Structure 1
Amino acid sequence: MRKVFLTLISTALLYSCGENKPVEQLTLSGLNKKNFETEVKEKKTDLYVLTNDSGMEVCITNFGGRIVSVMVPDKDGNMKDVVLGFDSIQDYVNIPSDFGAAIGRYANRIGQGTFELDGVKYDLPKNNFGHTLHGGPNGFQYVVFDANQLDDKVLELTYTAKDGEEGFPGNLTCKVTYILGQDNAIRMKYEAETDKPTIVNMTNHSYFNLDGDANVKNSDWLLTINGDEYTPVDSTFMTTGEILKVENTDMDFRTPTAVGARIDNYAFEQLKNGNGYDHNWVLNTKGDITKLAAKLESSKTGIVLDVYTTEPGIQVYTGNFLDGTVKGKKGIVYQQRAAVCLETQKYPDTPNKKDWPSATLRPGEKYQSETIFKFSVNK
């Protein structure tokens, strides 16, 4: 009888006072799942929730394979949402952004929107200062992946990009697997196969704000990058083909350094060209995922993000083009430099720089890439 009574009480709590309507069920981060249950381009979208025994929560939508929220504890045990994003699919559709997206078919820039492979020249749509950025204007961040949630810790997303889609050759079958570990690590595994020679370079484009407060800029967060070299860019954000040493420059983050310590030193040409940091670092890890690639820390919350990857490079982007025109989750306006992106990758424009790590994928081969975002706390 007691069990029946408690069940009735629980059911009653789902209804608002005086109305026969269910109260909305929200995620720990405050997202309403119903705002993600719709159709885009005749495919169903949804919000998928991963949780672990530590209380961490990761919300992902299959629209663009986007991480929508990441709830982690701070040094006082309070849960913080540490990524930027939107409250609904409609905002993701209507407001162009890369927030949290699984980027493809080629992350970062391809110079002049062209590349040659096996003697064939391919022309791509240009969407960034005369170049192709993040797979073009209709890259993977705007497609609907097929979703299969295996359990409360694993989500598989699959998508087949057609031959010629955004100008790229080959029917490319992709899979992105998100795995939430008990150690508060988000493991992302990328796989792809093709029926024609093509290029592939996938990443995740989460905008991290480790204060859990998008009103706070990234200036005081400590950044460490395990890289002795970087690839400089010109005024159109395109890599020049050089690989330069970070030593004695404002690009040196080999020891923990505040993001904002030198970011406005536009007398240094690279910061002027990037409008801040928007550069690829050559990692010392050489594909060894057991070695730390980068670290981001907030002294205010104590939240630490460690990045590990099989990729040779990492793009650090400091939210330079956030300009206060976009309202994100909970109506918060995203101001310039309210986040830091840590995009593991092949180097930008690799298909046009033959000496750089290859992004070519051929029939019979499998593209495999893995990145880990591991959260912890400094108390």
Structure 2
Amino acid sequence: MTIHTNTLACGWLAIILLVACNHKPDVQQTKSGLDRRDFQTVVNGDSTDLFVIRNASGMEACITNYGGRIVSLMVPDAAGNFRDVVQGFAHIDDYTSESSSFGATMGRFANRINRGRFVLDGDTVQLDLNSGQHTIHGGRDGWRGQVFAAKQLNDSTLVLTYVSPDGESGFPGEVTVSVTFAVNQRNELAINYEAQTAEKTVINLTNHSFFNLSGNPANNVLDNVLYVNATQYTPLDSTLITTGEILAVADSPFDFTEPVAIGAALAREPAHPQLQIASGIDHNFVLNTDGRIDEVAARLYAPSSGIALEVYTNEPGMQVYTGNMLDGSRTGKENVPYAKQTAVCLETQHFPDAPNKPDWPTTVLQPGETYTSTCIYRFSVIK
């Protein structure tokens, strides 16, 4: 039997094409296993994508321009193995189908505003309400649900920009914001915010990453050891709005001035009214750093992995949230349900409801001014 060379060539070509069609190229894969193509779609007429920034040591952050979200963050553990230390989802549909805060850039105003209302130059501004009787994280049209324009400057730097129209969720003034994500050789992820407004407005930005430093999002964080450079915090009323008081953390479950396991802190006084209101910790801490970016604001350590996280910021406050409202109903990467207290959020910010608290650091932005804010997440290991 004679087999023609052309026949063999065509056969091999068919096999190669078949394999190619059923194989996702490695270039699409990230260290965390995410596939960029799973984030490429169109939302409200704008294209979404997944961007990867890395340092030379292998630290990797995957960020989508939908909501300016950190989707995965790979850092080394004490044994040198890389672990994903943030909760999130493996497909854009999981972000767009149901509102969530996982990894998002929060704006135009992070955290809560009482009854979605404040007075600016004698005029009452009414925002839309998306958290019972209050507004949270920018309202229904908050930035976690917007598509940012993206420009990757190099392997380690990504810039996202967004123009928030006048009246978005009720906020006055057109605001233009840029958010720069950068990783460096100190294993830091630095987030720098800048914003300008066409009219007087209020602004307060943060990132809402849910950290699980064990690298296994099924683990709770009660054994994580937390230090917060704050001797005061702002208590809440029964609707989770700051009361306007500033209280000492001493002799309370909110005293992290010495490192303590989160579970031990919660067990100090489990019937504490503030813990009952929030079903755990979901409170703003008044930082002692006085805006000094080189002074640590908080430190979190997971004994199971040896991974430590330090937070640096020029902001006056930081929200510590112990994942109290996670209930297992959302299934994330690796098909893991996100259960209660399987993450910690460390959100650098101005104080919640500041527009209604004139004695607190102001969140007012005037035309001609530039709002700036910096948050640095620095990772290391303890062996």
Q: What is the aligned partner in structure 1 of residue 7 from structure 2?
A: none
Q: Normalising by the residue count of structure 1, what TM-score does the alignment of the two structures yield?
A: 0.95
Give CA deviations for 1:261-314 in whole Å, capped at 9, x if unaligned: 132544111101111000000000011000000010001100000000000000
Tell me what 1:9 maps to: none
Matching residue's letter, 1:102: T
Q: Output aligned runs, 1:156-305, within 5 Å.
A: 156-263=159-266, 265-305=269-309
1:127, CA displacement in angstroms? 1.4
Is structure 2 residue 371 aligned with structure 1 residue 354? no
Distance (Å, rounded) in 2 between the aligned partners of 1:81 and 1:16: 34
Matched, 1:117 2:115: no
Counterpart for residue 3 of structure 2: none
Deviation >2 Å, runs of 4+: 15-20, 262-266
Q: Could you tell me how far apart the structure 1 residues matched to 2:370 and 2:129 are?
A: 28
Structure 1 residue aligned with 2:23: 23
TM-score by structure 2 length?
Answer: 0.94
Within 2, Cα distance between the matches of 1:87 and 1:137? 24
Letter in 2 for 1:345: Q
Distance 1:22 1:56 in 2: 29
How many angstroms apart in 1 are the aligned matches of 2:198 and 2:216?
A: 45
CA contact (8 A) 1:320 1:337 kept: yes
Specify the SS of the correspondent of 1:271. helix
Identical positions, percent? 50
What is the total number of aligned residue pairs between the two structures?
366
**Is there any run of 5+ residues in structure 2 with no aligned partner, and where?**
1-11
Secondary structure of residue in 2 paired with 1:158: strand
Q: Distance in 2 between matches of 1:16 and 1:369?
A: 51
Looking at structure 2, the residues matched to 325 and 22 of structure 1 have their Cα atoms a distance apart, in angstroms, of 32
Deviations 1:63-119 (A, max 9, x none): 000000000010011110000000011110012210000100000000011011111
- Superposed displacement of residue 130, structure 1: 1.1
Partners of 2:76 and 2:230 lie apart in 1 by 29
Instruction: Label 1:19 to 1:319 Cα distance change in 2 as closer, same or farther (>3 A).
Output: same
1:39 alignment partner, one of 42, 46, 61: 42
CA distance in 1, matches of 2:73, 2:354: 31
Task: Tell me, in whole angstroms, the C-alpha distance in 2 between the residues paired with 1:173 and 1:263.
Answer: 40
- Tell me if structure 2 keeps the 8 A contact 1:104–1:202: yes
2:244 aligned counterpart, secondary structure: coil
Unaligned runs of 5+ in 1: 1-11
Within-5 A mapping of 1:80-91: 80-91=83-94
Q: Which moved more, 1:128-137 or 1:273-282?
A: 128-137
Select the structure of larger CA radius of gyration.
Answer: 2
Provide the secondary structure at the position in 2 that maps to 1:19.
helix
Q: 2:65 aligns with which of 55, 62, 67?
A: 62
Q: Deviations over 1:190-210 (max 9, x none)?
A: 000001000000000000000
Secondary structure at 1:27 match in 2: coil
Whether 1:137 and 2:140 are equivalent positions in the alignment is yes
Determine helix, strand or coil for the equivalent of 2:47.
strand
CA RMSD of aligned residues (A): 1.3
Counterpart of 1:272, as a letter, is Q
1:353 and 1:248 map into 2 onto residues whose CA distance is 26
Shift of 1:260: 1.2
**Cα distance in structure 1, aligned partners of 2:76 and 2:19:** 36
Secondary structure in structure 2 of the residue aligned to 1:208 = coil
Q: Is the 8 A contact 1:29 1:81 kept in 2?
A: yes
Q: Distance in 2 between matches of 1:101 and 1:329?
A: 16
SS in 2 for 1:263: helix
Whole-angstrom distance in 2 between the partners of 1:301 and 1:17: 43
State yes or no: 1:339 paired with 2:334.
Answer: no
Output the amino acid matched with 1:76.
A
1:169–1:196 CA contact under 8 A, matched in 2: yes
Alpha-carbon distance in 1 for matches of 2:131, 2:169: 14
Alpha-carbon distance between aligned partners in 2 of 1:314 and 1:274, rounded to the nearest angstrom: 16
